[in-house]
Amino acid sequence: MAWQKVCPLEEIPLLGARVVEHRGERIAVFRAEGDTVFALRDACPHLGGPLSQGIVSGSGENARVTCPLHGWNIGLASGEACAPDEGCARHYPTRLASGEVWLEL
Amino acid sequence: MRKQRLVMVGNGMAGMKTIEEILKHAPDVFDITVFGAEPHGNYNRILLSPVLAGEMTLADIMLNDLDWYSANGITLHAGRKVVEVDRVRRVVRSEDGTEEGYDRLLLATGSNPFIPPVPGRELEGVIAYRDIADTETMIEAACNYRHAVVIGGGLLGLEAANGLILRGMEVTVVHLGEWIMERQLDRPAAEMLQASLEAKGMRFRLGAQTEALLPAADDPAGRVAAVRLAGGETIAADLVVMSAGIRPNTALAESARLHCDRGIVVTDTMQTVTDPRIYAVGECVSHRGVAYGLVAPLFDQARVCANHLAGFGIGRYEGSVTSTKLKVTGVDVFSAGDFMGAEDCDNIVLHDRAGGRYKKLVLKDDRLIGAVMVGDTSDGSWYFQLVREGRNIAAMRDQLMFGQSFAQSQLGDAGHQGQNQAALLPDSAEVCGCNGVCKGTIVKAIKEKGLFSLDEVRKHTKASSSCGSCTGLVEQILASTVGGAYQAVDKHAKPVCGCTDHTHAEVRAAIREHKLLSIPAVMKALDWKTPNGCATCRPALNYYLVSTWPHEAEDDPQSRFINERAHANIQKDGTYSVVPRMWGGLTTPAELRAIADAAEKYQVPTVKVTGGQRIDLLGVKKDDLPAIWADLGKAGMVSGHAYGKSLRTVKTCVGAEHCRFGTQHSMRTGVNLEKMLFGMWSPHKVKLAVSGCPRNCAESGIKDVGVIGVDSGFEIYVAGNGGIKTEVAQFLCKVATEEDVKEMTGAFLQLYREEGFYLERTCHYVERVGLDYVKRLVVEDADSRRELHERLLYALKDAPDPWAEQQVQPLARHYKTIQIHDLSGESSHGMAESVSA
């Protein structure tokens, strides 16, 4: 596990995401309300939809992304699907320092 | 800030629905305490009859068990009856002396059974039918005794009688009225119902007054043994169930000197008229002089009450039209609205005595105001919806009697195999063809999870949550499973989503009237409950903004579905499909060459011709999108918008240009229409077609706008649909020239753009407002038509090619995957290289 620099914050659209590829793994890095940054494996627990392409809403603990394929809502802080759906996308720690987004991989 | 204290008296369905709604909308506002006289959590009282009948167990009907209360931080005093409300000190006190102070008090004390004042009513074995304890008493009696009498042939009485018969008792129903269920059924329906209940072994005494309940001669203080009717007849009875109606339980409210008049009198915000700190919901309430005893209106009250307590202050309860369904397996009875009808009403009646079918529809001024059905009730929820919406049914009056699938084939929700009789389907029947959901799965979820609304069923089972074509069928299953608790909602009167209480129409009006120009401005002006909306409301708001204030409102890409944000169509594996525009379906060798080159260069795995006469390049990686667009752009091609709620394609036949039958130049007209409409965003996708003669090779009859050339001009058809449910377009008008076609088409589409709700296709929009209305504004009124058309042209002026727009930085960079490579020997604090372009 090591912290890796990803990109400057402004490279991620607000309420949007960018895809990061590391050792063949695709990771969605989200910029939610208030410039909080979250990272999840870019695959919905339902049928593997690319979460990075979903609509981001909510804030803080309630920030979530709606999967573009079938509309599951996934909590960004935990990776857990919102009830009544069940499932979890792998979650990665993030941090923001001097305007740069970092990811622990 | 100290939380406010909310105390609720009563632990039934209406009260707990209110609490659940408060927890959903404003979880942090209140410390909540609940007093319940019964020792249980909250259960689904409506399903006591199936429990009695042995079709469900008590565990099946629990809605909130005791753990739920603690998990939600609610203090529950179960089994403690509140006996005093001190409005001065704002304290409630229970029988055992427990006191709780309140800032807001919610009374949900329900109702008490009415026990007729007959001698012997205090004997053992005489009970009412209201709660779990009564149900258990009945089940026990059925094990030990043989004869039962139910006094009262209303809904609940018949359900009780049915349950007791199924548990092996001999049951007689004693009823004062001339026919059973007279508050829900007319005489022919009641007689038919009675016949089918008699076939199950139920016996009836109608027009019969109970004179006394008699104990056994050798045990005058013991158990009931018989019922004596006026006139002298006695009927053996080891169990007597009193089911002669209910009375609002207002004792506590009256003792607190709150105004009561056949119920606790409340305002439209569910506050008592005496003390605005005190709210009341449920069967204990009298609203505008009406006390409701069915669950659906009580849930409406609960929603309004919760909304007000949560501080939103928008909702008002304005009364409900109710419907009834008898929960006796194998006997289908439904009634809604004014089923008797006054002199100025018309009745349509089908009465097949031998076949066991009766159906009466009551109409007044071309509106359905009531319905009664026995035998086949599969269309009940549809009729009920028509009653509630008060929709003008003149156009389908002839077919109304034959049900939804006959009368309203254009609604498109009869299921993917055209099934419309949910009750007759086996559990294994697939209802939702998109998500593979069977009837049994839906019924199980409804029962186990206590679901009451279509939205809840969609969330839990996914049935009807994709294409929506089985919505009607799912609603029927819901209606037949929960019975009277189900109330179809008018989808246009529903809030846009959980983020707001406003409807689509209200949001649109506010954007127009207050000239709101951005999503944050709309959310601020309309008190959105969430910081930035959700995936349902944001795309709708974005469309309303850009369509109402073109060139002025802010278009927010992050509030558009990915397809409109990435200007390509997302596929199941996360790749995209790219469709360049081919005006009118025409192309050139040069364009085809460019497409072929692009397909090879970007290793496009699938190249396909679409239904709209275009070429689809499927399987393009997102990283490659800007580059493939640039290559296609160099050959003169622009975005085909095959991904958006927007103008899709204008399909054409070859027409008079080449065809020996062609009467008009359909290719030219189609190309010109498509160029006029380029870049048009709309509530939903829009497809057009132009055919050069009535042979109609371009399939104009199933398009949002279909043009058919004839020798003397063009016929224009609107609101067709070839998709989910095939919908034949309706004739709008006939015009002489291509210029007329363009103006008429533009005006119609602009009207749809201005008034259609987000995700409403033209066929649903026209169904909602009526073709006559459209004709008035588009065909008959030339000024209106010209203005609509001009507004469309203004909105589409200088419409950009989104593919070209995306070529500039930093937009193009956002399509790129950021690669992170581990550097060997790098220290653990991780100075890895980041590449972001």
Question: Which residue type does B364 have?
Answer: K
pLDDT per residue as tens digits for the range A23-80 = 999 999 999 999 999 999 999 999 999 999 999 999 999 999 999 999 999 999 999 9
DSSP result, B555-621: P-GGGS-HHHHHTSEE-TTS-EEE-B--GGG---HHHHHHHHHHHHHTT-SEEEE-TTS-EEEEEE-
How does DSSP assign B182-221, residue by residue? TTT--HHHHHHHHHHHHHTT-EEETT--EEEEEE-TT-TT
Please report residues of A whose CB lies closer than 8 A to that of B758.
none
**Average pLDDT of the segment spanning B330-351:** 87
Tell me if A3 and B829 make a contact (CB, 8 A cut-off). Answer: yes
Average pLDDT estimate for B91-112: 94
What does the pLDDT read at residue B826? 37
Identity (one letter) of the amino acid at B68? W
Nearest-CA distance A38 → chain B (Å): 15
Nearest CA in chain B to A21: B819
- Cβ-contact B319, B289 below 8 angstroms: no
CA distances from B227 to B140, B154, B220, B477, B835 (A): 20, 19, 14, 40, 90
Query: A83 or B199: whose pLDDT is higher?
Result: B199
> What is the rounded average pLDDT for all residues in chain B?
90
- CATH class of residue range B4-111+248-309: alpha beta
Q: Is B426 on the interface with A (CB under 8 A)?
A: no
End-to-end CA distance of chain B: 49
- The letter for the amino acid at B763 is C
Residue B745 CA: distances (Å) to CA of B690, B706, B715, B761: 12, 9, 11, 16
Of all residues in chain B, the percent with pLDDT exceeding 70 is 94
pLDDT at B831: 38
Report yes or no: B824 at the A interface, CB cutoff 8 Å: no
Give the Cβ contact number of residue B648 at 10 Å.
Answer: 27
Alpha-carbon distance B436 to nearest alpha carbon in chain A (angstroms): 14
Question: Under an 8 A CB cutoff, do B535 and A13 touch?
Answer: no
CA distance A45 to A23: 20
pLDDT in tens, B542-564: 999 999 999 999 999 999 999 99
- B40 pLDDT tier (thresholds 50, 70, 90): confident
What CA–CA distance (Å, rounded) separates B712 from B689? Answer: 19
Q: How confident is the model at residue B295 (pLDDT cuts 50, 70, 90)?
A: confident
Contacts of B78 (CB under 8 A, 6+ apart): B11, B36, B38, B39, B40, B41, B66
What percentage of chain B exceeds 90 in pLDDT? 67
Nearest residue to A37 (alpha-carbon basis) of A20, A4, A60: A60
- Check whether B162 has a pLDDT greater than 70: yes
Q: Which CATH number fits domain A3-104: 1.20.1370.20, 2.102.10.10, 3.40.50.300, 1.20.120.10?
A: 2.102.10.10
Lowest mean pLDDT among B373-377, B680-684, B730-734: B373-377
Looking at the predicted structure, is the pLDDT value of residue B439 above 50? yes
Give the separation between CA B488 and CA B341, rounded to whole angstroms: 22
Please tell me the distance from the alpha carbon of residue B74 to that of residue B87, in angstroms, as a whole number.
Answer: 22
φ/ψ of residue B114, rounded to 5 = -85, 120
User: What is the mean pLDDT of the segment spanning B29-56?
Assistant: 88
Q: Find chain B residues with C-beta within 8 A of A54's C-beta.
A: 535, 562
Mean pLDDT of B242-271: 94
> Residue B783 and residue A71: Cα distance in Å, rounded?
43
Residues of A in contact with B829 (CB under 8 A): 2-3
Name the residue among A8, A53, A105 with its Cβ closest to that of B562: A53
pLDDT class for B823, splitting at 50, 70, 90? low
The string of pLDDT tens digits covering residues B746-768 is 999 999 999 999 999 999 999 88
Are B813 and A11 inside 8 Å of each other by CB?
Answer: yes
Q: Assign residue A24 a region: left if phi > 0, alpha if psi is -120 to 50, beta otherwise?
A: left
Provide mean pLDDT across the span B241-257: 94
Residue holding tokens 């359905």? B368
Q: How confident is the model at residue B221 (pLDDT cuts 50, 70, 90)?
A: confident
For the cut 50, the answer to whether the pLDDT of residue B145 exceeds it is yes
Is the Cβ of B819 closer than 8 Å to some Cβ of chain A?
yes
B836 to A3: CB separation less than 8 angstroms, yes or no = no
| Cα-based distances in Å from B535 to B9, B461, B499, B539 | 38, 20, 10, 7
Walk across the sheet containing B234-236 and list its strands.
B210-215, B224-229, B234-236
DSSP B758: T
Helix and strand totals (H; E) in chain B = 25, 40
Q: Note whether B681 and B757 are within 8 A (CB).
A: no
> Between A and B, how many residue pairs show a Cβ–Cβ distance under 8 A?
113
Q: Of the candidates B449, B574, B832, which has its C-beta nearest A50's C-beta?
A: B574
Q: Do B280 and B266 meet the contact criterion of CB atoms below 8 Å apart?
A: yes
Question: CB-CB: which of B559, B561, B819 is closest to A68?
Answer: B561
pLDDT of residue B485: 63
> pLDDT, tens digit, for every residue of B575-634?
999 999 999 999 999 999 999 999 999 999 999 999 999 999 999 999 999 999 999 999
Domain ranges of chain A: 3-104
Which residues of A make CB contacts under 8 Å with B?
Answer: 2-8, 10-11, 13-16, 18-23, 26, 29, 33, 47, 49-50, 53-59, 66, 68-71, 73, 84, 102-103, 105
Is the distance from CB of B613 to CB of B670 less than 8 angstroms?
A: no
SS3 B540: helix
Report the C-alpha gap between B354 and B670 in whole angstroms. Answer: 58
Mean pLDDT of B120-132: 91
Amino acid symbol at B368: L
CB–CB of B689/B682 below 8 Å?
no
Dist. CA B663–CA B657, nearest whole Å:
9
Q: What is the pLDDT of residue B412?
A: 41
- Contact B557/A at CB under 8 A: yes
- Which pLDDT score, from 0 to 100, does residue B407 have? 65
Of B474, B480, B481, B469, the closest CA to residue B417 belongs to B469
CB atoms within 10 A of CB B262: 12
- What pLDDT, on a 0 to 100 scale, did the predictor assign at position B484? 60
Q: In whole angstroms, what separates CA B550 from the centre of its chain?
A: 32
What is the arithmetic mean of pLDDT over B472-497?
76
| A contacts of B622 (beta carbons < 8 Å) | 19, 53
User: What 8-state DSSP symbol labels residue B226?
Assistant: E
Across-strand partners of B214? B226
Q: Which CATH number among 3.30.1150.10, 3.65.10.10, 3.50.50.60, 3.40.50.720 corresponds to the domain B126-244?
A: 3.50.50.60
Smallest CA–CA separation between B813 and chain A, in Å? 8
The reply to whether B572 touches chain A by the CB within 8 Å rule is yes
Answer whether residue B437 shows pLDDT above 90. Answer: no
- Side-chain half-sphere of B324: how many Cα atoms within 13 Å? 24
Which residue in A5, A21, A56 is closest to B558 by CB distance? A56
Contacts of B364 (CB under 8 A, 6+ apart): B341, B342, B344, B345, B346
- Chain A contact for B830 (CB, 8 A cutoff): yes
B21-56: b or e for each residue (b if 16 or more CB lie within 10 Å)?
bbbebbeebbbbbbbbbbebbbbbbbbbbbbbbeeb
Residues B768 and B787: their CA atoms lie apart, in Å, by: 23
- Selected from 3.10.580.10, 2.60.200.30, 3.40.605.10, 1.10.10.1100, the CATH number assigned to the domain covering B413-494 reads 1.10.10.1100
**What pLDDT is attached to residue B615?**
97
Distance between B493 CA and the closest CA of chain A, angstroms = 23
Condensed to tens digits (0 to 9), the pLDDT of residues B719-729 reads 999 987 788 99
Same fold, B4-111+248-309 and B126-244: yes
Q: What was the pLDDT predicted at B348?
A: 93
Q: How far is CA B416 from CA B93, B383, B412, B837, in A?
A: 57, 21, 9, 47
Beta-sheet pairing, B818-821 with B833-835:
antiparallel
Cross-strand partners of B599? none
Of B532, B566, B820, the CB nearest to A57: B532
pLDDT confidence of residue B837? 35
pLDDT tier at B832 (50, 70, 90 boundaries)?
A: very low
pLDDT at B170 over 80: yes
**Average confidence (pLDDT) over B103-110:** 95
pLDDT-based confidence at residue B405 (cuts at 50, 70, 90): low
Q: Which residues of B does the annotation place in the binding site for siroheme?
A: 697
Binding site per annotation, positions of B? 653, 659, 693, 697
C-alpha pair distances (Å), B670 with each of B641, B705, B796: 16, 11, 17
Token couple for B70: 């603690």
CA distance B825 to B161: 82
Question: pLDDT category, B494, cuts 50, 70, 90?
Answer: confident
| Chain A hits for B572, Cβ within 8 Å | 47, 49, 69
Q: For B582, phi and psi rounded to 5 degrees? A: -125, 100
**Under a CB-based contact definition with an 8 Å cutoff, are residues B617 and B653 in contact?**
no
When mean pLDDT is compared across B43-47, B66-70, B646-650, B814-818, the lowest value belongs to B43-47
As a whole number of angstroms, the distance between CA A8 and CA B67 comes to 47
Distance (Å) of CA B19 to CA B27, B155, B730: 10, 28, 48
Q: What is the reported pLDDT for A87?
A: 92
SS3 B366: coil
Q: Is the pLDDT of residue B427 over 90?
A: no
Looking at this predicted complex, what is its ipTM?
0.96
Tell the CATH superfamily of the B647-796 domain: Sulfite Reductase Hemoprotein, domain 1 (3.30.413.10)
As given in the structure block, the two tokens for residue B406 are: 């006959």
Q: Which sequence spans correspond to the domains of chain B? A: 4-111+248-309, 126-244, 413-494, 504-560, 647-796
Q: How far apart are CA B398 and CA B680, in angstroms?
A: 39
Instruction: Tell me which residue in B539, B828, B834 faces A2 most closely, judged by beta carbons.
Output: B828
For residue B197, give how far its alpha carbon lies from the nearest alpha carbon of chain A (Å): 40
- Chain B: nearest CA to A19, how far in angstroms? 5
Beta strand pairing status for B147-151 and B239-242?
parallel
- For residue B311, the model assigns a pLDDT of 84
> How far, in Å, CA of B680 to CA of B674, rounded?
10
To the nearest whole Å, the CA of A105 is away from the closest chain B CA by 10
Contact B818 A21 (CB under 8 A): yes
